[in-house]
Amino acid sequence: MEKQKLNVVWLKRDLRSQDHLPFFLAEKEESPFIALYLYEPDLMISADNSQRHWRFCYQSVIDLNQSFSKTNKKVEVMFATARDAFSYLLESYDLKKVFSYQESGTERTWLRDLKLNQLFLSKNVKWVECQRDGVQRGRKDRKDWDKHWYIHANLKIINNTFNHLRSIDDHPFHLSKDLYTKLEDTDLKIQPGGETKAWKYLKSFVQERGFSYHYNISKPEKSRKASGRISPYMAWGNLSSRQVYQYVVNSENYTFHKKAFNGMLGRLKWRCHFTQKFEMQTDYEYQCLNLAYEALEWSTNNDVLKKWKEGNTGIPMVDAAMRCLHQTGWVNFRLRAMLVSFLCHHLNHDWRKGVYHLAKLFIDYDPGIHYPQFQMQASVTGINTIRIYNPVKLGLDHDKDAVFIKKWLPELKGLDSKLVHEPWKLTGMEQLLYGFELGKQYPIPMVDIEESARQARDRLFSFKKNTAVKEYKDIILNRHTRK
């Protein structure tokens, strides 16, 4: 019996229907194709993966299926390794071509793709991989990269049609009841996935929320409304960078709020810049960019690490940020930088001890941004300015009335706002007055902020003068600096 001819659009971090080049190329073939999304068990157990990520992708697929429902078509979802899924499709169909976006992912996804490419070559299947968000595979330096990015951002938006999208009758890789239950579980404090929600957030930013972006982006509480809040939708591909760029620039409000909107667009390009770094050097995930920093000595106090992860350090702004992340999956950039700085500078812990923890918590986790940013904030690149964040000063500057801290640390609600930032300074009489006992309702601080910062400063600035650090610095600048 002759096998049915079939092409595949393999969806990964590109869960949208429009401005989608693989869909466009598959449709152009004028042959039947399926849209495939995989829950890969070997990736789901990796250290950077979490249930909130799977659920966001599940919601994104559901949203796609609702847009396809009028034509009785859907995304095929399988719980299988990529090799098992494609081996089945090869056995059951006359598979000709696979279309997907290139993935600037972790070492696991890269090795998976290498093995999969060998399978496709052995079966004479053509795998067409498209550039994602202006990030170029195979680059050796950053010459003219900015020019290329703007060309990409201004290209015409792709209008996708799905005349040749098909569904397959059945397959053996259905979601287990346990996994399905976890995916269906809704957490109202975490942004829901999907192209529809993505556009809702982008439109509300342009229509009103973004007007105060440049004033409130650093404020822990106000930034939750004033910032784009589209980072999860960018990370999982519900929106493309081109869609965002053109929608903001062409909006009727752009002229009136150019400073605010350009601030947001600058970060849009910035995220692609960091993803390009990771694409060119994937060992960012597990090795210091500047190899000389592998010689740094770190603390191995696991009890301290545990308290940082839980948000029980005794430093209010640090704990509030961490507890907020646990519940909502999002805090602004300044708080993220502070959390990394506190771990690596004040607590003197190896950045690798916290990098997967935050990856699991961030609903907008994207390897291309996460690992380069983490190393930059940990001060192990040798090329970036060493920034040691003072959590108390950050709180006083951006959460003066302790609105954010009190929201996430209810045990401090009863204190006067001026005292919340440094509860360890309360006298015995003041504690009695407020009915508050340090060490009972809230932890005694793990470190002296000023002293631990001084030690970190001495340690890091001294190490940066190391000859080996300078030698690696020149190599890094040549490879990653935009000229």
316 and 238 in a single domain? The answer is no
* pLDDT over 80 (residue 475): no
pLDDT in tens, 155-196: 999 999 999 999 998 899 999 999 999 999 888 899 999 999
273 and 343 belong to one structural domain = no
Same domain flag for 305 and 392: yes
Using CB atoms within 10 A of its CB, is residue 356 exposed (0-12), middle (13-18) or buried (19+)? Answer: middle
> Alpha helix (H) ranges present in 93-227?
107-122, 145-153, 177-184, 195-207, 213-216, 223-226
Looking up residue 289, the CATH number of its domain turns out to be: 1.10.579.10
User: Does pLDDT of 1 surpass 80?
Assistant: no
Domain contains 258: yes
Distance CA 381, CA 281 (A): 13
Does some domain include residue 319?
Answer: yes
Paired with 391 in beta bridges are: none
CA dihedral over 419, 422, 427, 431, signed as positive or negative: positive
What's the DSSP call for residue 424?
Answer: G
Domain boundary (260, 280, 300) is at: 280
Residues 229 and 337 in one domain: no
pLDDT in tens, 44-84: 999 999 999 999 999 999 999 999 987 788 999 999 999 99
**Is residue 36 domain-shared with residue 91, that is, in the same domain?**
yes
Pair (382, 448) in one structural domain: yes
Q: Residue 15 and residue 100: Cα distance in Å, rounded? A: 11
Tens digits of residue pLDDT in 95-144: 999 999 999 999 999 999 999 999 999 999 999 999 999 999 999 888 99
SS3 content of the chain, % helix, strand, coil (to 5): 55, 10, 35
Q: What CATH number is given to the structural domain containing 55?
A: 3.40.50.620
Last residue of a domain, one of 233, 251, 280: 280
Q: Which of 224, 252, 280 is the last residue of a domain?
A: 280
Looking at the domain assignment, is residue 122 inside a domain?
yes
User: What confidence tens digit (pLDDT) does each residue in 256-308 have?
Assistant: 999 999 999 999 999 999 999 999 888 899 999 988 999 999 999 999 999 99
Domain count, the chain: 3
The verdict on 232 and 310 lying in the same domain is no
Residue 78 placed within a domain: yes
334 plus 461 within the same structural domain: yes
Alpha-carbon span 84 to 483, nearest angstrom:
44
* Residues 249 and 290 reside in one and the same domain: no
> Is 162 inside any structural domain?
no
Q: Is the pTM of this model over 0.75?
A: yes
pLDDT on residue 482: 58
The answer to whether residues 341 and 422 belong to one domain is yes
Domain residues for the domain of 58 are 5-130
CATH of the domain at 211: 1.25.40.80
| 294 in the same domain as 221 | no
Residue 472 falls within a domain, yes or no?
yes
**Based on the domain organization, do 428 and 470 belong to the same domain?**
yes
Q: Residues 294, 288: contact at Cβ < 8 Å?
A: yes
Residue 188 belongs to a domain: no
Q: What is the reported pLDDT for 483?
A: 54
